[in-house]
Amino acid sequence: MTSVDQPFQDSPSSVVFDNHLSPHETLSKRVMLALLRCSGHQSAHLENWTLAGFNSGFSQGFGFNTSEPPTEYYDRPFFDFLPASGYSTLQHYYSCHLLVLLLSQLLTQLQSTPSKKEELDRLNYHIRELEQIVNTPIVVQFNRPSQAPGWLQLWFNSEGLKISGVHPKLDEWTVFSRQPMGDNLFDDLQWLENYTVTGELILEGIEVTQTERKQRLIKLLTSPDSLLEGNKLQLINYQLQELFRASYLMILNVDMNQVRLLVGKVCGTLESYVFPREELDSPYFITALEQNQVLRVGEINPQSEKQCERTLWEEGVRSLLLIPLRWDYEQQGNHPEMLRLIGLVSDRPHNFTAQDCHYARELIPAFACAMRQTNHNQLNPIHPAVAWRFTQEAERRSWGFEPAPIVCEKVYPLFGISDIRGSSNERNRAIQADLIQQFELGLAILEAVEEGQKNRLIEQIKIDLEAYKTRIEGKVTVDSEVTAVQYLQEHFEIYFDYFYQCGESAQNAIDWYRKCANNDRHSVDTARRAYDRTIDRINENLLQTWERWQKRMQAIIPHYCDLESTDGIDHMIYVGKSIHHSFTAFHLHSLRYEQLCALCDAARTGIKLHEVDKISLQLTHLVLVQDVTIDICHDENTEKIFDVQGSRDTRYEIVKKRIDKGVDLETGDRITAPGMLTLVYSTDDEWKEYEHYLDYLQREGWIAPEILSGSVAPLQGVDGLRYARVQVL
């Protein structure tokens, strides 16, 4: 036996391009060739075929030790080079080749004897069907010594095989005609025992390890789970290690005034850091974002003036591959200056190559999809503190038990709100400004039309638009946007075809009107987009503040925390023995105090946005105190993870939904105020406990010493509530 370094002379080329490979990639790879022979059993089972020869491409691809003579690898079963998971795929492919040979022999026999036309047609049909399979390459995983497994796209050249029956008198066509020619032939391989195979089988292949890794990473990134979910993050890090030799993943979030760094460790945990926006001035971060190009950073500077770079160095980062993610933010309702960088991290300097940059560019759509999915999921996952209850119930159902409600009994609720004061009025003003602008654009069209002619109908349309605009300037109601746009479509825009014939000025005015209203609502939305960006920015800052405190609070004791983001951030915490067995009164009191500290920090965030960043909207903050436990349950028919259970807890839910609009019983003033923290409670015992917390907050410099107090006006039949309000410093 000899090592084959040249293509087999009698081997027709059957190399075809994989759908995922460019012709350049395919031609640039070395074709692997191997000769397989049956190990004396003359078996139709592939497991009995051994390696009889191979070329240098095969040796290199499979990681053979070139210092050893090729004969060291001869006579080894070919299956030794494949993981067990690839056996069935390869046997199926091999069986198809044998069937083509066998049925071709049967066809020759039938053509030489009187046969029914339908039998010949049926046989020809099955041969053509099988030839489509054998002429299509398959992809299988293969083992390599001291290396990660690779992927091989391969074909079999079976022209050197001869198949014959063990029992020469057996009528093969009678056997095969008893059952449909389908997958059942591959599920049950007993029919192979009736045949022997002799000759040589040639394997032709191309290594597609990197291509297959890319496809698997793309599939993982585009799966519906959040990118930041622990198990998925671990799998992604593993794939990045294989494809890029990267240690792990990092995400750089860029907002108007700050940079947020998320470092996803190999174990699936996340480290979060927040830096001032100035940290973005690092030459490689700003270059990647401004040029919107994948960028290699060969070495991190440990002496950099930027804290972000020094933090990366301290985390063990020595080189980076930066992937900017940019899509139509205004269409997504996000801040136009809010950008993201995906960073592939290595603990070795100059780890990434030009080829890595090429791969990274191909992965940009998948990373963008993963980040959009993460944005969608980040506020409403099943919380780790209660995930065990859902897993427990899933296991019960897997054993055939009837579904049982997921209930957490006797938990303490800690509810709080950071509300954007006046957001509804600000939204209405934005709608009003946009509608006024749209009517002014409409009037400009009519004025342009009138330059070339005077028409009584045009005069009346103009008077109607001016009157409608005056009504909008006076007041905007909930349905003003819909009704105003509908009015313009039905009474004004229907004449655009005619107006467009009235001169260049009219054409320009109509084009500008259409451009300004080019969105799903068919209306001007300049002010509304600015409003949405402001709300998004406030919520993003509040969420970042809350996440920092949640990390500290979860370290006290695991508890359930649900966040809802609308015009501000609401949080709902449940804690108790039914969630974590170690729960004690100390954990409860500690969490209550940390909750107040977190809201004070959120208040400071709002004050900074108002005073430093000149955002006009302000924030109010409220905590609803309750020292009585409630029961919560999961309702599969709702989107919420948990709802309160039982009528006795209805009072608490009513108060939760309405308390942010609560007013003082005597003055009628709102109980909340911008930049202040309000506590709402029912009993003297609750006040005594929280009065101590206020002393602690004052001692730590969170709040001013003055306490304003009063009674809350009844809320839908719920009365007896009191409040205390303090100024956050």
pLDDT of residue 90: 82
Mean pLDDT of the region 604-619: 90
pLDDT classification of 213: cutoffs 50, 70, 90: confident
Higher pLDDT, 665 or 166: 665
pLDDT classification of 41: cutoffs 50, 70, 90: low
Examine the pLDDT at 224 and tell me if it is beyond 50. Answer: yes
What's the longest Cα–Cα distance across the chain? 109
With contact defined as beta carbons under 8 Å apart, do 317 and 347 qualify?
A: yes
**Averaging pLDDT over each range in 58-62, 112-116, 547-551, 649-653, which range is the top one?**
547-551
pLDDT of residue 30: 60
pLDDT of residue 648: 56
CATH classification for the domain delimited by 223-379, as one of 3.30.450.40, 1.10.10.10, 3.30.1520.10, 3.10.520.10: 3.30.450.40
Mean pLDDT of the region 532-552: 90
Dump pLDDT digits (tens) for 324-378: 886 433 333 333 344 678 888 888 999 999 888 888 888 887 887 777 666 544 4
Examine the pLDDT at 635 and tell me if it is beyond 80. Answer: no
How far apart are the C-alpha atoms of 90 and 47, rounded to whole Å? Answer: 10
pLDDT classification of 681: cutoffs 50, 70, 90: very high
Portion of the chain with pLDDT greater than 70, in percent? 78
Q: In the structure encoding, which two tokens stand for residue 704, read together?
A: 């001013």
Examine the pLDDT at 468 and tell me if it is beyond 90. Answer: yes
Q: Which class is 409-420+530-728 in CATH?
A: alpha beta
pLDDT of residue 405: 77
How far apart are the C-alpha atoms of 531 and 533, rounded to whole Å? Answer: 5
pLDDT of residue 590: 96
Higher pLDDT, 139 or 280: 139
pLDDT of residue 19: 42
pLDDT classification of 16: cutoffs 50, 70, 90: very low
List, as own/partner pairs, every contact residues 433-437 make where C-beta atoms lie below 8 angstroms and the sequence separation is at least 24, other chains included.
433/526, 433/527, 434/481, 434/523, 434/524, 434/525, 434/526, 434/527, 434/528, 435/472, 435/476, 435/480, 435/481, 435/484, 435/523, 435/524, 436/469, 436/472, 436/473, 437/516, 437/524, 437/526, 437/527
- Structural domain boundaries in the chain: 31-208, 223-379, 409-420+530-728, 423-525
Portion of the chain with pLDDT greater than 90, in percent? 28
Examine the pLDDT at 649 and tell me if it is beyond 70. Answer: no
Q: Which of 12, 10, 53, 49 is nearest to 33 (CA)?
A: 53
Examine the pLDDT at 206 and tell me if it is beyond 70. Answer: yes
Residues 6+ apart with CB under 8 A from 608: none
Higher pLDDT, 43 or 498: 498
pLDDT of residue 315: 82
Dump pLDDT digits (tens) for 386-410: 766 666 665 565 465 677 777 888 9
| Ordered DSSP codes for 454-468 | --HHHHHHHHHHHHH
Mean pLDDT of the region 122-140: 84
Q: Would you call 51 helix, strand, or coil by DSSP? A: strand
Mean pLDDT of all residues belonging to the chain: 79
User: pTM higher than 0.75 for the full model?
Assistant: no
